[in-house]
Chains A and B, each alone.
Chain A
C-alpha cells in the first residue's frame, strides 16, 4: 500500500500534483531539506550548512520543492526564509491517514465479529 500517495490524493479540495510531490521527494537532499523544515523554518544559508552543498544548489532544490507545494519561501530584506507549506504533505493529511487507518481497523474488527456464528 502506497501511503503517501494515498494521503495526497485524498485531499480533494487541494490541487496537489502527486507526480511533482514524488519527484520532489525522490531526491535525498530534498528529503533532508523537508525533514529539517518540518521542525522549524530556516534561512537558505542555514539550510545549506549541514547539507554541505552550495547555496546555488540549495536554491535549485528549493525551487522544485516550492513548485510541488511542499515548501514556501519568502524574502524579507536580504534573507530568504523557507518553511514547510501545509498544502503539500501536511500534518492534516497525516492526521486523515491516521484517522482513516483507525476506522479501517475498526471495520476489520466489525467484519470479524460478523463472521462469528450468529448470537444467541
Chain B
C-alpha cells in the first residue's frame, strides 16, 4: 500500500442534552466531572489525567490499551485550549500518541447553544492523520470489522 504521509478529514457530532449550557459547560471545565465522562469508562480508568482549563492550558489523558495487537501500549491524548467562551464555546488542539509515536493532530471545536429543552452540543473535529497511524495488524483488524459490518448491511432483512 502506498504510504501517505498525512490524510486530512473532518467530522461532526451533534447532541442535545436536557441540561442548561452552564451545566454542560461545567462538565468540560471541572476536572473531576470532565474525567468521569472523558477519560474514564466502563472498560477501565485512565492511568493518569490532568486538566488545566484555561486558554493556553493543557489536558493530558493516558490510557492503557487493553486488547488487540497493541495491548499494553499507552495511548496519550494531549490537548491545549485555544479559545474558551464560558457556556458557549471551547476550541482546543489535540494530538493522539501511541507509545512515543504521534498518530494524529486535530483542531476540535465544541459549540453549545441553548434550546427549548436544554442544550445543543456540536463537536467538530478537523484532523490530520500521520503515517504509521495504523500498524499492519490494526489495518487488518480494521478491514475485518469493515467486512463484518458490510456482511450485516448486505443481508436482506
Report B149 CB to chain A, min CB distance, Å: 4
Query: For the complex, what is the distance from the CA of A22 to the CA of B19, rounded to whole Å?
Result: 41
Give chain B nearest CB distance to A54 CB in angstroms: 25
| A35 pairs with B127, CB closer than 8 A | no
- In the complex, what residue of chain A is closest to B77 when comparing beta carbons? A102
Instruction: Across the interface, name the chain B residue whose C-beta is closest to A93.
Output: B9
SS of A interface (majority)? helix
Within 8 A of A (CB), among B117-157: 121, 123, 125, 127, 129, 133-134, 136, 139-140, 142-143, 145-147, 149-150, 153-154
Please give the number of chain B residues whose Cβ is less than 8 angstroms from any Cβ of chain A in the complex: 41
A11 to B7, CA, bound (A): 11
- A68 located at the interface, meaning its Cβ lies under 8 Å from any Cβ of chain B in the complex: no
Q: Does B13 lie within 8 Å of A100, measured CB to CB?
A: yes
Judged by a CB distance under 8 angstroms, whether B27 is at the interface is yes
Closest residue of A by beta carbon distance from B6 = A92
- Counting chain B CB atoms within 10 Å of each CB, the highest count among A3, A100, A106, A110 belongs to A110
**Nearest CB in chain B: distance from A100 CB, A:** 5
Contact status A111-B15, CB under 8 Å? yes
- Quick check: is A38 within 8 A (CB to CB) of the other chain? yes
- List 8 A-B pairs, Cβ < 8 Å: A5-B153, A35-B143, A41-B1, A91-B139, A106-B37, A111-B17, A114-B18, A115-B18
Not counting A95-B142, A100-B13, A113-B37, a sample of 17 additional A-B residue pairs whose C-beta atoms are within 8 angstroms of each other reads A13-B8, A13-B9, A31-B147, A41-B1, A86-B4, A94-B139, A94-B145, A98-B142, A103-B125, A104-B13, A105-B41, A110-B24, A110-B27, A111-B17, A114-B17, A114-B27, A119-B33
A residues at B contact (CB < 8 Å):
2-5, 7, 10-13, 22, 25-26, 31, 34-35, 38-41, 83-84, 86, 89-96, 98-100, 103-107, 109-115, 118-119
